[in-house]
Amino acid sequence: MDTIFALASARGKAGVAVIRLSGPASWDVVGQLAGDLPAPRRAALRRLVWQDVVLDEALVLLFPEGGSFTDEKVAELHLHGSIAVVAEVLRVLSGMPGCRMAHAGEFTRRALENGRIDLTQVEGLADLIDAETEAQRRQSLRVMSGAVRERVEAWRRAMIRSAALLEATIDFADEDVPVDVTPEVRLLLDGLLRDLSAEVEGSKVRERLRDGFEVAILGEPNAGKSTLLNRLAGREAAITSEIAGTTRDVIEVRMDLSGLPVTLLDTAGLRETDDPVEGIGIARALERSRLADLRVVLVGDAGLPPGISLDRDDIVVRSKSDLGVGDAVETGAISGKTGQGIDDLVERIATVLGARVASSGVVMHERQRIALESAIASLGLARNQLDVIPARTELIAEHIRQAIRALELMVGRIGVENLLDEIFASFCIGK
C-alpha cells in the first residue's frame, strides 16, 4: 500500500498549512524530518530538517492505525502557511520511498474502503465541503455523520428479516411449518414502504439544498423588479431604468437568503407587446418562472401582470411603497429604492422555502433517491404478491432481495467501483 500525501488545507498563502500523510510509511517519513516523534494524538513542535537544511518549525501530529480518518497510520505536518514552505516540503516528500502525491479524494476513498464511512457519508462530506449556507451545512453534516447510513441499515435489517421469514417457510415447505409468517411480513413491508416513500418525498426538496432554490421575480415593466433584485443582491447586478422593458434576458443572482441557497431570477416585465425581442424576453420570463420553486409577483395599482394566475405559494407584494398611495404603508409592500419591507420579504421567502425542507428526512442526493425508488418498486411488487393466493413465497423473497441490493448499492456495500471515480472527481486533492 502506497503512502499518500497532499496539502489538506487550501492552496496559497495562509496562516497555517496542513500536509497530511496516510499509509504504512507515514510515521517513518515524518520521523526522518522531525527526528523524535511525539506520542500519537499529541501535537508537538519540531524542527523539520532534510539533508541539513531546515524546512520549517512545524507541529507534528500522528494518528495510529485503526484510529484515524483513513483508518491507516496518519501523520500531519502543520506548517507555516507559506507557498515556498509547502512547495519545498511536498518536494522532499515526493522523494521519499513508498510515498506519492494523493489523487483527488484519495484520503476519503481510503476511509471508505477501510469501512470507516459509507458512500452516503462520502457524499455528505463532499456536500459539507461545498456548503456555503447554514442550511446546507446542517443538512450535509447530518449526512456526513451517518444519518442516512443509520436509516438504511435499519431498513436493510427489516428487509433481511422479511426475506428470512419467507425463506424459512420455503425451506420447511414439506414439513408444513405451523406458523403463518405473512402477517409479520405484511407489517414489515407496509412500514418500509411508508418510511421509504416519506424519505423520497422529502428528498426532492432537499436536493434543492444542493443546487439552490430558484426564486423568480415577476411583474409588469417598470414594476421595480430589477431594483428589487439589486437590493436583495446588494449590488447592481441588473440594469434599471425608467424605460419600460429594460430587462430582456433572465438575470440570475445566487445568494444566501437566511441560510438557504437561492438563485434569484430577474425577468422581463410582462405586457402585451409588438416588439419581437421583448416578446422573446417575456416568453423566457414565463418559462423560467414556471420551473422556479417560488414566484415573487410585484403588483402596482393595476393588479396582477397579464398572463399570471396565482398559485398557492406565490408571494404577492406591492412595489414602490415609498411613493405612497395616500394611506398608511400596506403590509407586505416593499420599496427596492428605500429598502422598506425588504427584510420582511426575505423572511417570507425563507419561511416558505424552509418549510419545504423541514422534515425528518435526510436524503438529499439524486443518486440516493433513485436507489430508494428502486427499492420501493421492488417492495411494492413483493407486497402485491403477498396478497396473492396461493402465495408465491420464493418470488416475494426474490423481490425483497432485490430491494436489499438497491440499498446496498446506495451505501456502497456493493457495486462501488464504477461510482467512485465519478464521485471523487469532484473532490479536491488532500480530501
Ligand X SMILES: Nc1nc2c(c(=O)[nH]1)N(C=O)[C@@H](CNc1ccc(C(=O)N[C@@H](CCC(=O)O)C(=O)O)cc1)CN2
Ligand Y SMILES: Nc1nc2c(ncn2[C@@H]2O[C@H](COP(=O)(O)OP(=O)(O)OP(=O)(O)O)[C@@H](O)[C@H]2O)c(=O)[nH]1
* Residue 68 interacts with which of ligand Y, Mg ion, ligand X, none, CB < 5 to 8 Å by class: ligand X
Rounded to the nearest 10 degrees, what angle do helices 119-130 and 417-425 cross at?
10
Q: Is 27 in the site for ligand X (CB under 6 A)?
A: no
Yes or no: say if 119 and 412 are a contact pair by the CB < 8 Å rule.
yes
Q: Which is nearer to ligand Y, 226 or 378 (CB)?
A: 226
Single out the residue of 3, 5, 62, 69 in contact with ligand X (rule: CB under 6 A): 69
What's the burial of 246, exposed, middle or buried (CB within 10 Å: 0-12/13-18/19+)? middle
* Span of 65-73, 230-238, 322-330, 381-389 interacting with ligand X by CB under 6 A: 65-73
159-161-166-167 Cα dihedral, nearest 10 degrees = 110
| Residue 221 beta carbon to Mg ion: minimum distance, rounded to whole angstroms | 8
Q: Is 295 in the site for ligand Y (CB under 6 A)?
A: no
Looking at residue 381, its amino acid is L
| Residue 74 beta carbon to ligand X: minimum distance, rounded to whole angstroms | 7
| Residue 349 beta carbon to ligand Y: minimum distance, rounded to whole angstroms | 17
Q: Is 296 in the site for ligand Y (CB under 6 A)?
A: no
Single out the residue of 63, 155, 213, 424 in contact with ligand X (rule: CB under 6 A): 63
| Residue 271 beta carbon to ligand Y: minimum distance, rounded to whole angstroms | 8
Single out the residue of 222, 289, 368, 378 in contact with ligand Y (rule: CB under 6 A): 222
CA distance 405 to 159: 10
CA distance 55 to 43: 18
CA-nearest of 165, 134, 8, 28 to 76 is 8
Q: For residue 156, give the H/E element and its range.
A: helix 147-171
CA distance 120 to 419: 12
Cell readout for 351 is 419561511
CB atoms closer than 10 angstroms to residue 283:
12
- Look at residue 212 and give its three-state secondary structure: coil
Yes or no: say if 215 and 349 are a contact pair by the CB < 8 Å rule.
yes
Q: Which is nearer to Mg ion, 70 or 247 (CB)?
A: 247
User: Any binding-site annotation on 338?
Assistant: no
Q: Which is nearer to Mg ion, 3 or 226 (CB)?
A: 226
Single out the residue of 22, 26, 68, 267 in contact with ligand X (rule: CB under 6 A): 68
| Residue 107 beta carbon to ligand X: minimum distance, rounded to whole angstroms | 8
CA distance 50 to 32: 8
Single out the residue of 226, 289, 319, 321 in contact with Mg ion (rule: CB under 5 A): 226
Q: Which is nearer to Mg ion, 122 or 285 (CB)?
A: 285
Single out the residue of 68, 140, 247, 378 in contact with Mg ion (rule: CB under 5 A): 247
Q: Please, what sign has the CA dihedral across residues 91, 97, 102, 103?
A: positive
Q: Which is nearer to ligand X, 114 or 182 (CB)?
A: 114
Fill in the per-residue mask, 300 to 339: x = in contact with ligand Y (CB under 6 A), - = not in contact: -------------------xx-xx-----------xxx--
| Residue 58 beta carbon to ligand Y: minimum distance, rounded to whole angstroms | 55
Whether the bond between 261 and the residue before it is cis, its omega within 30 degrees of 0, is: no
* Residue 313 CB partners (closer than 8 Å, separation 6+): 294, 295, 352
Q: Is 5 in the site for ligand X (CB under 6 A)?
A: no
Single out the residue of 154, 244, 277, 358 in contact with ligand Y (rule: CB under 6 A): 244
CA distance 258 to 261: 8
In the DSSP assignment, the letter for residue 42 is -
What's the burial of 112, exposed, middle or buried (CB within 10 Å: 0-12/13-18/19+)? buried
* Residue 106 CB partners (closer than 8 Å, separation 6+): 4, 6, 424
Annotated binding site for Mg(2+): 226, 247
Annotated binding site for (6S)-5-formyl-5,6,7,8-tetrahydrofolate: 20, 76, 116, 431
Instruction: Give the residues lining the site for ligand X (CB under 6 A).
Output: 18, 63, 67-69, 76
Annotated binding site for K(+): 222, 241, 243, 246
Instruction: Give the residues lining the site for ligand Y (CB under 6 A).
Output: 219, 221-227, 240-242, 244-247, 268-269, 319-320, 322-323, 335-337
Annotated binding site: 20, 76, 116, 222-227, 241-247, 266-269, 431
Instruction: Give the residues lining the site for Mg ion (CB under 5 A).
Output: 225-226, 246-247
